[in-house]
Structure 1
């Protein structure tokens, strides 16, 4: 109790106020956080430094700022407490807190003491990441390490120095699974596992590594990693409007895969991503790499586009947060606001375009998104306080790199582009593809012309055989009763006023039946009015009436939905098929003419002379009577006529818009088809002439020949203009025949004739204007830009700025690029980076514990052509990589000393990333479609469901839900994936259609293997199934305990399913076991 009282007294406020302020603990951290950016080693505004006591006491250009022992007379205290925001320090962010100000006041009052050991900030130029990469000699800690993997030699130095005992190698099954998942993204098959376990040669593991490095799936696996870093996204926007990224950006994705499989150097990949259009302007394969820049396209704001490009180029390739210097000088790194806009100047000229690719002329279907310099003379201005509305137009900034990182070799050289780069229509495949397309159009036009000619023949045939021209069977105008023709059924029928009247209502059918059977193929027409009715008000024609079986076509004036309907009754009740219904706006007291034409099972129905419905009866025809019917309708019949249907009469088929062509329309259609064919036949010559003229402009063609070719192209273009004008005239003449507004259509004909006359006149003097073949289009510069502007000629030169930037980034003198690349690769192999802040190697990034190893690997990467495959091999063949991840038998002292594994004495378990989880499920079930490359696909259609996850659409609007559940890459920023643990992940693996379907497939495969080998009476099938299931899914042999538990589970599953009377209980029990193993932690964890 006495001790407690003493403690409470010691913590009283009065005691705390009297306590000495510790500079190192209480003051320097505040100054570092809020003041060093402007008054430290990096920058000394007003010639004032606050990063060490000697400088604080010295003051700046305005004199001293500290009066030791007198806080009230100290300028620094006045400035941090000022109410005037223009005078208060620090000038940005929140003011110092009351606690911080109180500590500062007391420190001054107590004499502003600083310890003798106090040191100023280090020179920014000496920051570890800003020093040029030099590799130290590989340490030789002991005889064993002298001949070991260099990675292990560097790490062993730390182990020995700190007394750490690293773990031994992981078991062979775990190692094989680890390198499979790490290098190709899918687990080994059971056959590969068994082969590896049986291989007792000392280099078995190394040979497995070699096999996987040569596997094309390696490029797919590691492409996904780099797509995270480089922010791959498919295009998205609003509807068809592209707002972000580019259509067909998947070409960039395929370039990444192919580059990695071909072991293209990292430096070469950077060069092509930033400047392939300048370095390899006609190399289509290399140009795909510029998708890195095309991806940043943003329709609405050029500054947003540029900001994203600067931020993520610097983060991804340099490990610098240059975005922090957009509005002011960087607070921590030697990057000024001017540096930011000088970096922007590298990218200021570039824009994005879409070039055609071999085999496709439609840029909407396919094309190569790539960059080019369009704004050659556009200046770059510093935006005051980062606001693009207030550019400093007094100073145009030239491109340049931060002074601290500049090298003597940096220079910008303008690039003259070859003709095929600035005029992509000159590429030979463009001519071939467009001519082939033109010839296909000719073929289609010929087919259309042949069809039009056939329509003329059909029109002539239809004219000779109208529907109502057949032999008359029955005609009655109902002027007087005709008992010889009609048998009267239920209803109140009478002949009045020259009409046959039915006067009863109610839900009973009333009819009169023709005594004479109609022919099998017939036309029946009845004229009538529906006068009234209680509800349905239906009148129609019934045929094939035999013993309660019938077919019926009727009109209903039902107020809730008047209609024309076909129905049929096979003896068990009427059927009203949905495709036998047509809504029709009819009313009572309306004059109506219902005509039906029947041939076989095809029924045509027209109302008031207009075709309304074609229906194919699904039931057989019968020789039966024909009735006039009224159902709940007072009706007056004026006339009925029944005829044979002529054999040559044309009927409508279901869905057809016309039963036979109108002779006049057929003639004009034939004329139109002829004009379209003539225009199509001109197209190949027009294309070839334009291509030859374009080629002559950009080659050493004699001037006279050039003019001749240009003249020929212009003449071909004028001839095409005439042909198109003739097509327009034929179209106008067709509209005159078919459109209801005859005056408007007639005016259009006159306009078309005038246009044709003008085109024919221009053909007499064709000039030298022609249209080049469209083989490219640039992206819009903004939402209001017109479409025609996208097809303007491209510049014949490029600024060379991005080439200079790219070469500087991957130069040996640049201290950052190789370190950043190594750090990304290392992190994805080990689950933890050498430099924790993967996008910030600036002064806030502490020198990594393994900095010697990092620098040696960075130097080795550059020394060996920036080969990433060499680096992968070096890493995965190290003992560090092969170590066990289990701490079961780890040295307790080692665990205590290095609990965070900063010295890599063990391997950390890693959860599979989203794509690997899904792809592993597909692969183990033999369901994976292993085809590589091509357009991105939606994950929903069944035929795409089994493609590798890499090929799914990945954008703001299209994300695979299963992948998103497991922390899929964020399209905006994913330099390092998060690893969340949420209940929904367990539900996704246990309940998703994917996991359930693939569990069944795996079970079926395993069961098939066992059934083929072990007889049912043997009793070993379940034991063998358990062995194979665990080996397949977990890539190891089961322990005795696991084996027993699985057998018990199979028995319980089978019993439960049998009790539930489920089908095939034993088979489904095995599916349940497989499903459980797919949810095992050892499946989703890389150990």
Structure 2
């Protein structure tokens, strides 16, 4: 220790010269405790090793005294003469430091002032910040030697050697191995998300071989349920979300994003390399443009879609690509240079330039060309020439257009040569309508239109024959066979496909509770007949304004549909028949009736449709008769609500017999008994013939255009390529001419049906239709060779100026190659981050805590790893195994580290004293089950879990579904209620699940219908397995089944007493089982 009596003399020299640094005495540690932490937090970012604005460093006192462009920053002993004090106390924001955020707190300023006034003493050994580029995470991992000095008898594989070395260093004694049943439950829940059955437990206990654990691990890793379990983990990290948003304008993710989820599951089950998965997620459209299976991986980028704001979309793409794949917070460099890591603001926008060209489209899947029904959402480079500019201070309203930013990766992470090269795309990627399955699907739809037109023509011809023949005996509508009948007591997935909305089955009826401007839809899976009668009984229960409930029919992918509904709108309740065409709804006055539609009262709608004539009957009284202005095409029938809550009681669908009379529109010429006049029927037959001609011409056009499109993909081109183009152009124009003929016929029928008041307007429309027909016929005389390709993909709306034409092919013939270059850069074996980041996530989900606690920030602000050598060894092992996750799982779960007991009973006293938080793994970490595991385990133990893999997301309203929980719709708007009680993943970001213990969880397990039902089924299964079992044996079986353990003597005694108090019989046993499901050990992985 230095002589304290010499301090005044040294201080005097320091004050006089301003250059001498006084060393700290033993008790003089104000600088280390009160000054340096403030400088480190608020000043180092601009005046440290990373950056030296004005050539000033403050990471050491010596550097501060040397000063920068403004001279000495600290005048020891004289705070008033120190420029540092002047800057941190300035009231002028132009010169105040720090320039951003809140000013230093008064107590922080006072501490710095006092430190300077006392001579600014500092440690002699003070060292500057290390070079940021030498940060541990920015250096490629190198396999370290496996420690050999620790107890070799305790180790099973290299993981244990690294853990044992830390035990030895910190004086820790590891806990013994967990009980075999405990390990089996732990590894089963970890690898497949389901607890072991009693039979699996018995088989494992009976296997006394050294390979028993390996046998179990192999079985679990080979199980299809492994992909589902670990798929949900990676869905957390990669922010899986179904389509959600507010209305039509603020939309996130994509419809049919479930294809990406299925790709994740299948990739994991196939043990596809993690590096390959990253490449496919970032750039499958450039690397494998015609591989539909791999294109599903593009859901990672399609999910980032945000219609409302393109900058927010790309900001989230950059932020979560870097966090998920690199463990870096690139988003912190959007407005200014990163405060901690060597990422400049320009480099942030260089990263944005990589993604700048990309948009999202939906590609057709085999058998479906209706993109509302299905399709694969995927990225593609749409705007190849899009430029990127730095947004000054991160404000997209203020771009710096003096400099175009080129795509680039950060210099400090560069590996090899960054050289994105444009990718020439195959024809089928540019013209997805040329894919054979797309052409076939279009042909099938065209055939269906012909069949429908033939049926409609046959029906109207029959009507004409009936009208010209003697009067038939009327056939009541009720005698027509019922095609669909549903009283909505339970979910009928065979009948209905729920869309948007909040649909739930309760109290013997179907309830829809969503309000607002997003329409709720329940689509009938069965195609209705051409002429049909649909009856719907329901009770409107609420809404904010419009309160509309009804049915649509002829709903098509093109956007056309007709609809009939009742509205309880306070300022104008009504019944309405309407239609949508060209993206806009028409609500004709002649299709409306003002009428009362009471809330909380039952109503019945009867919708009868024959040809273009629509009749709507409400509560037994005729309400509206209306003729649709366009020849109908086959489409779906849907139950809908708009800004309405309703309870649905019954639905019936029948074919409408030709003998059932319908009312003509109220302004049509009167006819006896509502019968259609013969001249109109004859015109309707003519219209039917024209409709059939249109359908047949459209079929010929589809065949010709498909042949011409596919010829474009052939190498060398066929000799008749030019003739195919001409045929495609001719048949398309012929189809247009046939359609104009049909429209003219429709207009002539409309004139025939007109009242005197309507006559002039309809004559004008007929004249226009006549002119359009003549124009189409003239175009047919010189068809040329230009035609419209068959649509095989649809671009997602980029803005409200998009048209149907701009959303369809052809798409660009090349891609920039930027994302594939980025994918290769990220997965380069020399890259320091991706393997470490992935290993950290996998380790965390097995061992209960990550090696690097800041799982998405491996940068200088993040927390260093607790076991850096183990992390690097695992990263290299992972990479050299072909990035095999299954290899890594096997290594971890068969280690002695993983197999230790999680109990601290009998632990050495030094363990709890030296490492109370178990940072160095002297025992296993007990963790809470995730939400999905809780629900899936209940169903699994009850024998109710539906093990089917994949498929469309299940609406949260179908909470009685028995599918695995990861298949429910999962979005910011919609969460399955039971799952939401147990720390379900946030779609905004969920790099590490939170663990909570709150009363709602116990209430969910005690009072939910799911828990009660599964308790009954588990109890019944146990009783059925051993019908004569005494209560003692039954309780033991219940413990083994639910908790994977035998009850202790005390637990058995308490259980017997409790069961006796509940009574005898299955009901009592079910109540006991429900109590056992509420045991802490059920929701805890020990």
For normalisation by structure 1, the TM-score amounts to 0.78
Displacement after TM superposition at 1:1000 (Å): 1.2
Aligned partners of 1:611, 1:39: CA distance in 2, in Å? 81
Structure 1, 268-277 or 238-247: larger mean CA deviation: 238-247
Report the equivalent of 2:1073: 1074
Displacement after TM superposition at 1:374 (Å): 0.8
Equivalent residue in structure 2 for 1:448, among 456, 460, 467: 456
Structure 1, 449-458 or 1068-1077: larger mean CA deviation: 449-458
Q: Does residue 668 of the first structure (1) align with residue 683 of the second (2)? A: yes
Report the equivalent of 1:1085: 1084
Q: Any idea what the Cα deviations from partners look like across 1:431-476, whole Å, max 9, x if unmatched?
A: 1111122112222222222212221222224657899xxxxxxxxx
Aligned partners of 2:684, 2:904: CA distance in 1, in Å? 83
Report the equivalent of 1:755: 772
Displacement after TM superposition at 1:145 (Å): 5.5
- Secondary structure of the corresponding residue to residue 335 of structure 1: coil
Q: How does 1:890-901 map to 2 (within 5 A)?
A: 890-901=907-918
Equivalent residue in structure 1 for 2:1035, among 1026, 1043, 1060: 1026
Report the equivalent of 1:683: 698
Does structure 1 conserve the Cα–Cα contact (< 8 Å) formed by 2:244 and 2:251? yes
Displacement after TM superposition at 1:932 (Å): 1.0
Report the equivalent of 1:790: 807
Report the equivalent of 1:876: 893
Report the equivalent of 1:1001: 1017
Report the equivalent of 1:1048: 1057
Report the equivalent of 2:567: none
Change beyond 3 A, Cα 1:717–1:72:
same
Does structure 2 conserve the Cα–Cα contact (< 8 Å) formed by 1:66 and 1:75? yes
Change beyond 3 A, Cα 1:653–1:1007:
farther
Q: How does 1:805-824 map to 2 (within 5 A)?
A: 805-824=822-841
Q: Does residue 919 of the first structure (1) align with residue 936 of the second (2)? A: yes
Q: Does residue 422 of the first structure (1) align with residue 430 of the second (2)? A: yes
Report the equivalent of 2:640: none
Displacement after TM superposition at 1:402 (Å): 1.4
Aligned partners of 1:124, 1:229: CA distance in 2, in Å? 27
Equivalent residue in structure 2 for 1:734, among 743, 749, 755: 749
Equivalent residue in structure 2 for 1:68, among 61, 68, 76: 76
Report the equivalent of 1:103: 111
Report the equivalent of 1:861: 878
RMSD (CA atoms):
2.6
Displacement after TM superposition at 1:650 (Å): 5.8
Aligned partners of 1:725, 1:787: CA distance in 2, in Å? 21
Q: Does residue 988 of the first structure (1) align with residue 1004 of the second (2)? A: yes
Does structure 2 conserve the Cα–Cα contact (< 8 Å) formed by 1:196 and 1:204? yes
Q: Any idea what the Cα deviations from partners look like across 1:391-422, whole Å, max 9, x if unmatched?
A: 11011111111111112332211111111111
Aligned partners of 2:432, 2:797: CA distance in 1, in Å? 18
- Secondary structure of the corresponding residue to residue 987 of structure 1: helix
Aligned partners of 1:465, 1:612: CA distance in 2, in Å? 26
Does structure 2 conserve the Cα–Cα contact (< 8 Å) formed by 1:351 and 1:371? yes
Aligned partners of 1:668, 1:185: CA distance in 2, in Å? 66
Does structure 2 conserve the Cα–Cα contact (< 8 Å) formed by 1:1010 and 1:1024? no
Q: Any idea what the Cα deviations from partners look like across 1:518-563, whole Å, max 9, x if unmatched?
A: xxxxxxxxxxxxxxxxxxxxxxxxxxxxxxxxxxxxxxxxxxxxxx
Report the equivalent of 1:549: none
Displacement after TM superposition at 1:37 (Å): 0.3
Displacement after TM superposition at 1:20 (Å): 5.9
Does structure 2 conserve the Cα–Cα contact (< 8 Å) formed by 1:651 and 1:660? no
Q: Any idea what the Cα deviations from partners look like across 1:161-190, whole Å, max 9, x if unmatched?
A: 222110111111111111111100111111
Q: How does 1:550-949 map to 2 (within 5 A)?
A: 662-700=677-715, 705-740=720-755, 741-941=758-958, 945-949=961-965
Aligned partners of 2:275, 2:899: CA distance in 1, in Å? 29
What are structure 2's unaligned runs of at least 5 residues?
A: 1-26, 476-592, 597-616, 626-656, 667-672
Aligned partners of 2:991, 2:953: CA distance in 1, in Å? 22
Does structure 2 conserve the Cα–Cα contact (< 8 Å) formed by 1:310 and 1:344? yes
Largest Rg, 1 or 2: 1
Displacement after TM superposition at 1:290 (Å): 0.9
Displacement after TM superposition at 1:325 (Å): 0.7
Does structure 1 conserve the Cα–Cα contact (< 8 Å) formed by 2:194 and 2:933? yes
- Secondary structure of the corresponding residue to residue 890 of structure 1: coil
Does structure 2 conserve the Cα–Cα contact (< 8 Å) formed by 1:80 and 1:101? yes
- Secondary structure of the corresponding residue to residue 144 of structure 2: coil
Change beyond 3 A, Cα 1:1044–1:649:
closer
What are structure 1's unaligned runs of at least 5 residues?
A: 1-18, 468-581, 586-605, 615-647, 1015-1019, 1055-1064
Report the equivalent of 2:440: 432
Equivalent residue in structure 1 for 2:210, among 190, 196, 202: 202
Change beyond 3 A, Cα 1:1069–1:254:
same
Displacement after TM superposition at 1:241 (Å): 5.8
- Secondary structure of the corresponding residue to residue 791 of structure 1: coil
- The aligned length equals 882
Aligned partners of 1:656, 1:198: CA distance in 2, in Å? 80
Does structure 1 conserve the Cα–Cα contact (< 8 Å) formed by 2:422 and 2:815? yes
Report the equivalent of 2:572: none
Displacement after TM superposition at 1:1045 (Å): 1.6
Report the equivalent of 2:182: 174
Report the equivalent of 2:499: none
Does structure 2 conserve the Cα–Cα contact (< 8 Å) formed by 1:249 and 1:295? yes
Displacement after TM superposition at 1:899 (Å): 1.1
Aligned partners of 1:715, 1:299: CA distance in 2, in Å? 38
Aligned partners of 1:331, 1:718: CA distance in 2, in Å? 63
Aligned partners of 1:701, 1:903: CA distance in 2, in Å? 66
Does structure 2 conserve the Cα–Cα contact (< 8 Å) formed by 1:20 and 1:110? no
Does structure 2 conserve the Cα–Cα contact (< 8 Å) formed by 1:682 and 1:720? yes
- Secondary structure of the corresponding residue to residue 451 of structure 2: helix
Report the equivalent of 2:578: none
Q: Any idea what the Cα deviations from partners look like across 1:93-135, whole Å, max 9, x if unmatched?
A: 1111221112212211211221101111111121111111101
Aligned partners of 2:187, 2:452: CA distance in 1, in Å? 55
Aligned partners of 1:67, 1:238: CA distance in 2, in Å? 59
- Secondary structure of the corresponding residue to residue 770 of structure 1: coil
- Secondary structure of the corresponding residue to residue 822 of structure 1: helix
- Secondary structure of the corresponding residue to residue 351 of structure 1: strand
- Secondary structure of the corresponding residue to residue 353 of structure 1: strand
Q: Does residue 964 of the first structure (1) align with residue 980 of the second (2)? A: yes
Displacement after TM superposition at 1:1072 (Å): 0.3
- Secondary structure of the corresponding residue to residue 1082 of structure 1: coil
For normalisation by structure 2, the TM-score amounts to 0.78
Change beyond 3 A, Cα 1:249–1:464:
closer
Does structure 1 conserve the Cα–Cα contact (< 8 Å) formed by 2:1042 and 2:1077? yes
Displacement after TM superposition at 1:792 (Å): 4.6
Report the equivalent of 1:218: 226
Equivalent residue in structure 2 for 1:1036, among 1045, 1065, 1069: 1045
Report the equivalent of 1:628: none
Q: Any idea what the Cα deviations from partners look like across 1:200-232, whole Å, max 9, x if unmatched?
A: 222111100000000000000000000000000
Q: Any idea what the Cα deviations from partners look like across 1:628-656, whole Å, max 9, x if unmatched?
A: xxxxxxxxxxxxxxxxxxxx996669999
Does structure 2 conserve the Cα–Cα contact (< 8 Å) formed by 1:1010 and 1:1021? no
Displacement after TM superposition at 1:144 (Å): 2.6
Aligned partners of 1:812, 1:612: CA distance in 2, in Å? 72
Equivalent residue in structure 2 for 1:185, among 177, 185, 193: 193
Q: Does residue 41 of the first structure (1) align with residue 44 of the second (2)? A: no
Change beyond 3 A, Cα 1:240–1:941:
farther
Displacement after TM superposition at 1:21 (Å): 6.6
- Secondary structure of the corresponding residue to residue 916 of structure 2: coil
Does structure 1 conserve the Cα–Cα contact (< 8 Å) formed by 2:249 and 2:307? no
Structure 1, 861-870 or 768-777: larger mean CA deviation: 768-777
Does structure 2 conserve the Cα–Cα contact (< 8 Å) formed by 1:70 and 1:109? yes
- Secondary structure of the corresponding residue to residue 731 of structure 1: helix
